[in-house]
Structure 1
Amino acid sequence: MRLILTTSRGIEDLASAEVSALLDRLGVLFRVEEKPLGVEGRVLAEVEKAHYTDEKGRMRELSVSTYLNERSRLLHRVIIEIASERFEGINDDEPEKALKRIESFVSSLPVERFVKASESFAVRSFRKGEHKITSVDIAKTVGKVIFERLERFGTPKVNLDHPAVIFRAELIGDVFFLGIDTTGDSSLHKRPWRVYDHPAHLKASIANALIKLAKPDGSFIDPFCGSGTIPIELALRGYTGEIIGLEKFRKHLRGAEMNALSAGVLDRIEFVLGDATRLSEYVSEVDFAVSNLPYGLKIGRKSAIPKLYMGFFNELAKVLQRRGVFITTEKRAIERAIEENGFEIRHHRLIGHGGLMVHTYVIE
């Protein structure tokens, strides 16, 4: 089985490591590849069949896709690959030619193997890059081909709202993927515990990536915790150290508490109303600090960011004992604040979030 796994750009290595660790527990042969066919935000997993023993001692096949959907914290979707192809020059093709190439490719695929006669289906599409066709064009073309193919074996059932089987067609640059989306219409990064939305909340998958980079094993604080994504995800990982969420605005702090209650981890997190630029007033020392710093929508005036960052990192220098991980678009402001307050950058990477590539720093 070949699985196309989606995640945020820039954390493919972390997602790959997580998937490898999960599959290793199954004791099966597997191979994991980052950025298959050069596509960012994608991981390929080739996995042999896995089995488990039920309560009656019978050997049964384990659904690897379900296993990953239930256990991964870094993935967005788990897609069973039907086929993939590189269409050289499709970016420049006129719409009719581009769609004809996709139609010809899909028509050769045994899609009937993935839909039972009693099951309904729908096509969900995704497109990224400079093309003269839209994702709607792709969905219509692929849906038509699949319907015609299934007609050879009976009467196909289309259900656009609640399909039993979701075909996912993706065109990213010149690479086309077709598969069965086992995750459903709601991405895994949209956690069911979220009952309060901060206007610029961090994706849960990225929160877990920051936690992975921090490797915490002591006291932990998110000094700009917003709606609580990072401390909540840390608590859900079974973290046993002290977890603090500091937030300046009461509305967001109450929202964070609501989310933590929904997630069942309110008793594991100490939420504090306070200003991160006065951090030493709330904690005398802390081992790890991880946060999505204010930028863009999170702050009214962009001109205020350098002063805010300088004030925060000045306070952080008084209390941080081991490591910090921070994400922001404001490269110049954060690097100056890091340097002038005596920290060293141990790692830097760009991560895709909200349509932007944002800077991520690991400091000590």
Structure 2
Amino acid sequence: MKLLLTTSQGIEDLAKKEVGNLLKMADLKGKVEEKPLGVEGRIWAEIEESYYFDKKGKKREFEIASFLNENSRLLHRVILHICSTKISSLETGRALTEIYNFVFNSPIEEYAKVSESFAVRSFRKGEHEFTSIDIAKIVGSAIYDKLSKFGKPKVNLDHPSVIFRAELIDNVFFLGIDTTGDSSLHKRPWRVYDHPAHLKASIANAMIELAELDGGSVSDPMCGSGTILIELALRGYEGKIIGIEKYKKHLKGAKMNALAAGVLEKIDFIHGDATKLSQYFESVDFALSNLPYGLKIGKKRLIPDLYMAFFNELSKVLEKRGVFLTTEKRVIETAIEENGFKIKHHRLIGHGGLKVHAYVIS
């Protein structure tokens, strides 16, 4: 079985490691590769079929896709791979014709019965003169025409039995069965309150991985709607978890989210100012936060002073490591350096159409 797994750009290595660990946990054999065909935010997983015996002694196939959907914290989608190729031309007519022929000549009938309703969901990224809707239409036509050889196909755009996922990223085309459904895995069911700039849960978990937590206390000094802290608590983290938020509206929302996730009692929420951390605790082992930047803060001119004051205060209490996200590269690096911290790791992560900088400091 070959799966195409999606995640945020810049955390493919962490997602690959997670998938590898999940395969070991389930005693599954396979190989995992990041950035297939050079495409960021994508992972191949080629996994051998596995079987188990149910309570009645009947041999059943282990549902690998379902297992990953249920247990991954870093993936967005789990797609059963049908076929992939590099398109030779991106000129509209030739490209769409090439996609149609490629899909039509693929073994569609092995993945969807003619009696099952289907729909195509598409994704396009890159410089093209056509849209993702054009891709969905041409792929849908190819699938319909192919399945017509075996009966009368059923199209249901709203509630399909089978969702085909067609992606064109630059000149690379993927086609598969989307086992995740219309809602990405990073959209957690516990989120009942939306911060105007909330963090994807997958990226929050990437930050947790980068922090290399060892059981010490953890704080998010600008916790917003609580994503990092809630995801940490859901992982069963046993150290003290502290959230600080300046705005009462967001603090209330964070508590609502934590309650919906069933982890409210595991997190200490404080109404406070991140530039006054030493008023709330003498020390903390780890600090993780998606810092205010750009549209998040409204008045961008306030960011340099805010960062400088925050890292100055953090220098008084941080014992081990901090992990922070921002678009303000120059500003954060100045604040980190002038307050005695060292950058241990830096990477770019795709988030909400932006490339944000992730820093691990100590």
Runs of 4+ aligned structure 1 residues displaced above 6 Å come to none
1:202 aligned onto 2:199: yes
1:187 alignment counterpart: 184
Report the RMSD for the aligned CA atoms in angstroms. 0.8
1:363 aligned onto 2:346: no
Alpha-carbon separation, structure 2, partners of 1:303 and 1:296: 9
Contact 1:98–1:133 (CA<8 Å) still a contact in 2?
Answer: no
Moved more, 53-62 or 63-72: 53-62
1:15 alignment counterpart: 15
2:340 alignment counterpart: 342
Alpha-carbon separation, structure 2, partners of 1:99 and 1:35: 24
1:148 aligned onto 2:145: yes
- Kindly provide the amino acid, as one letter, of the partner of residue 356 in structure 2: V
2:107 alignment counterpart: 110
TM-score by length of 1: 0.98
1:57 alignment counterpart: 57
Alpha-carbon separation, structure 2, partners of 1:320 and 1:25: 34
Alignment of 1:214-363 (within 5 A): 214-216=211-213, 217-363=215-361
CA deviation string 1:326-354 (max 9, x = no partner): 00000011000000000000000000001
CA deviation string 1:244-295 (max 9, x = no partner): 0100000000000000000000010011000000111111100000000001
Per-residue deviation, 1:116 = 2.2
Contact 1:16–1:34 (CA<8 Å) still a contact in 2?
Answer: yes
- Kindly provide the amino acid, as one letter, of the partner of residue 192 in structure 1: P
1:136 aligned onto 2:130: no
CA deviation string 1:296-331 (max 9, x = no partner): 222021111010000000000000000000000000
1:119 alignment counterpart: 116
CA deviation string 1:13-38 (max 9, x = no partner): 00000000001122222010000000
- Kindly provide the amino acid, as one letter, of the partner of residue 273 in structure 1: H
Alpha-carbon separation, structure 2, partners of 1:57 and 1:225: 49
Alignment of 1:155-174 (within 5 A): 155-174=152-171
Alpha-carbon separation, structure 2, partners of 1:87 and 1:97: 9
Gaps of 5+ in 2: none
- Kindly provide the amino acid, as one letter, of the partner of residue 309 in structure 2: G
The percentage of counterpart residues that share the same residue type is: 68
CA deviation string 1:49-104 (max 9, x = no partner): 022232233332111000000000000000000000011342xx1x2111111011
- How many pairs are equivalent? 361
User: Quick one: structure 1 residues 89 and 116, their matched pair in 2 at CA, closer, same or farther if it must change by over 3 Å?
Assistant: closer
SS in 1 for 2:150: coil
